[in-house]
Amino acid sequence: MVQSLDEVTWYSIYPTMWTVEDVHKWISLSAKQYNMKPVDLTKFAVDGATLLCFTEEEFKERAGD
């Protein structure tokens, strides 16, 4: 998979350092890569450190699964 410069840049940052924007990029790109339905990003208005604290259940609830 060829990554854009933007993808390479934020992929190189450890997730605890991700901004809300980085979290949104990761979720959007992951959903696209795995042919998932679009996710309501307003439910993920969190930084990377907070995202890493989510349980699987919390993540799925926000993602609409």
Q: What is the CATH number of the domain that holds 50?
A: 1.10.150.50
Q: For the chain, how many structural domains are there in total?
A: 1
- The whole-number pLDDT of residue 2 equals 47
Of residues 58 and 3, more confidence is placed in: 58
pLDDT of 23 strictly over 90:
yes
Q: Which domain range does residue 59 map to?
A: 5-63
* 15 close to 51: Cβ distance less than 8 angstroms: yes
Give CA separation, 6 vs 35, 38, 56, in Å: 21, 20, 27
pLDDT of 10 strictly over 70:
no
Of residues 9 and 26, more confidence is placed in: 26
